Amino acid sequence: MLEFLTSLHWGAVLQIVIIDILLGGDNAVVIALACRNLPANQRLRGVVWGTAGAILLRVALITFAVALLDVPFLKIGGGLLLLWIGVKLMAPAADAHDHIKPADRLWGAVKTIVIADAVMSLDNVIAIAGAAEQADPSHRIALVIFGLVVSVPIIVWGSTLVLKLLDRFPVIVTLGAALLGWIAGGLIVNDPVGDRWPVLDTPPALYGASMVGALFVVAAGYALRRRRGAPGAH
């Protein structure tokens, strides 16, 4: 256990936790909406069981995604998707939670949370799989699970505080979107299809592509935000 902790890529762990917090706001809203009609004595159980089910499903999805990232062109596709997710994070569309209906029974709420989380977690899955790419292949799945375990209490019990911080300091969202762009650039340049060009497998190419990805997301996000006429949106 000690050997695992000392050899862990802590930069990737930090990125996974940040991604989960930034992209977990929607999931926290889903949990609250699904459980709001439950009796007071069942709400905590609804949150805990719903979150546990969502985590198990997300680990399965991420395990699948991490394995698939070794297939040619999939890192490019995942990187492009991450660029779009980063832009969307900076300039979100209108409220997308109107279809989440409160449940009157405990297991109905749990089912609502798990299904909604699965539908909404594609961004988390791709982003976390991308962050885990930095780690040793034998550590990737354990890294993903570790990052989820660390971040879940923050999302569930600290979601209100996190959302208030995001409202008060919009620059946090910009930095988070830039992080997604950074990961996207690294994914794209590391796609197996680029193995025929050794120059792409160098630190300057990796950092250059990551920087371009981060700058693109921030620039496109600001442009889209201005186009929608919502300069204060996040």
**pLDDT score, position 234:** 46
- Residue 175 CA to residue 90 CA, distance in Å, equals 10
What is the model's pTM?
0.65
> Per-10-residue mean pLDDT for the chain, 234 residues long?
56 76 66 74 82 80 72 84 83 56 72 73 70 73 73 62 68 84 88 81 90 96 82 48
Instruction: Count the helices and strands in the chain (H runs, E runs).
Output: 10, 0
**Whether the Cβ atoms of residue 211 and residue 179 lie closer than 8 Å to each other:** no
Core vs surface per residue 41-78: b (16+ CB within 10 A) or e: eebeebbebbbebbbeebbebbbebbeebeeeebbbbb
Read off the amino acid at residue 17: V
**pLDDT score, position 42:** 83
| Residues near 44 by beta carbon (within 8 Å), at least 6 away in sequence | none
Instruction: Report the largest interatomic distance among the alpha carbons of the chain, rounded to a whole angstrom.
Output: 61
Please calculate the CA angle 8-12-16 and round it to the nearest 5 degrees: 120
